[in-house]
Amino acid sequence: MQPRLRAGFDTRALRFAGRNRGTKVFELDVATTQQPKIEIMHRKKMDVPAELVFVPIDFDKEDLFEVLSNAGYQEGQKTLFCRTVPGRARL
């Protein structure tokens, strides 16, 4: 499992889909950033891997692990957490 915190417009989950080997990827970000990203991906007819799960979260008000659990994250599995550096990603 690979939760990506504040994913923004980064496309790492798409670019490395062939290398993920079925690894579930949770992209966490605020809805106001995540929704336009999803709309752009659909408008550009980009293939979204089945393993990619978009998870809206308010980092200031919601519990990270509760939100992840509700999205299907299973505690105890080998996990890599990634955080995208702001201002570096483009769609």
* Sequence-ordered alpha helix ranges (H) in the chain: 12-15, 31-43, 64-70
The 10s digit of each residue's pLDDT in 21-68 is: 788 888 888 999 899 999 998 999 988 888 889 999 998 899 999 999
State which amino acid sits at residue 22.
Answer: G
> Domain map of the chain by residue range?
2-83
pLDDT confidence of residue 13 = 82
List, for residues 57-83, the tens digit of each pLDDT value. Answer: 998 899 999 999 999 999 888 888 887
pLDDT band at 14 (very low <50, low <70, confident <90, very high): confident
